Amino acid sequence: MGTLTGKTAVITGSGRRKGLGEAIARKLASEGANIVISDIGKTRDAATGEAHIGTTEEMESIAEELRGLGVQVSTCVCDVRSLEEVRALARHGAQTHGSLDIWVNNAGIGYIMKPLLEVSEADWRAVIDVNLTGAFFGLKAAAEVMIAQGKGGRIINIASQAAKSGFPHAQAYTSSKHGLVGLVRSAAIELGPNGITVNNVCPNHVTTGLGAWQNEYFSKVTGHASVEDYMTSMANRIPMRRPGLPEDTANAVAWLCTDQAAYITAESMNVSGGEEPH
């Protein structure tokens, strides 16, 4: 039996291969948790292009693999910009699997990167709506169900090193991730009496599918000769001498879901190989 056997975990933005959400879902499933794979399912507007979303087919493919670990796995399409859809996702987790114990706000936009003066109102709103408002909706919907159940729970946001430090061409992204720090600090105070912990996990750069796009973009912006040169430069500034792996973030999330972390709340935990020290 795993450390999370009998628990049910919902992970938003978990419907893409090689993404952080998939890695988190796989890790929690390996620890015995039942899983809800959730993503937007299809393109809905200019901000949710097919290259950056989890489709319904991809969601089900991931779910089928995870069922091989001997746990219950379902899928549920959800646009985190809609409180109604997020609440439906929370109900799905509780009703399909018997409870809602873990909620991971992983859905995010990290592919709208531009110089400050080129950022449009639509760009700004797209990032804030998903990364910050979507996380608020998830926290709210999960808390509603967990409080009604009366047995506590774990709510975890996938923030970023950008929750602690600023980065060029990432004004909206950095603002949204900084906002998550304030969100968990406030929510943890209110939800603590209900036995619900609320935390952020803050990874540095991780080369997922999205990360690969960021590598291409920032290697050009920073004037490196190649992506390989950019990656070498990145690794050299990290004490552990490598960028993060999806499994690094997934392991941190899994630990925060265990009884060992029952007294940890309102934290924004770095998973950065020492690159982000505060």
Indicate which residues carry an active-site annotation.
173
Give yes or no for a contact between 104 and 9, defined as CB atoms under 8 angstroms apart: yes
Whole-number CA gyration radius for the chain: 18
Q: Other CB atoms closer than 10 Å to residue 44's CB: what's the count?
A: 13
Q: In what order do the strands lie in the sheet with 73-77?
A: 73-77, 34-39, 8-11, 102-105, 153-158, 196-203, 268-271
Q: Token pair 């796995």 is at which residue?
A: 73
One-letter identity of residue 166: G
Q: Are 261 and 155 in contact (CB under 8 A)?
A: no
